A and B are shown apart, each in its own frame.
Chain A
Amino acid sequence: MAAQLVVRDLSKTYTAGDKELLAVSNINLEIAPREFVSIIGSNGSGKTTLLKTVAGILTPTSGEARVEGTISYMPQDHALLPWRTVEENLYLPSDIRNVPRANVKKRIVDLLTEFGLEQFAHLYPASLSGGMRQKVALLRTVLQDPALLLLDEPFASLDALTRLEAQEWLLALLQKMHASVLLITHDIREAIFLSDTIYALTSRPGTIKEKFAVPLPKPRTRDHLRTPEALELEKKLLSLLVHTP
Chain B
Amino acid sequence: MSSQNLEHHKSIYLKVLLALFVLTVLTVAVSFFDFGSITLAILIGLTIAFIKGFLVAGNFMHLLDEVKPIYWLLALTVVFFFVLFFIPMLWEMNLVTVE
Do A and B truly interact?
no
Interface residue ranges, A against B (CB under 8 Å): none
Interface residue ranges, B against A (CB under 8 Å): none
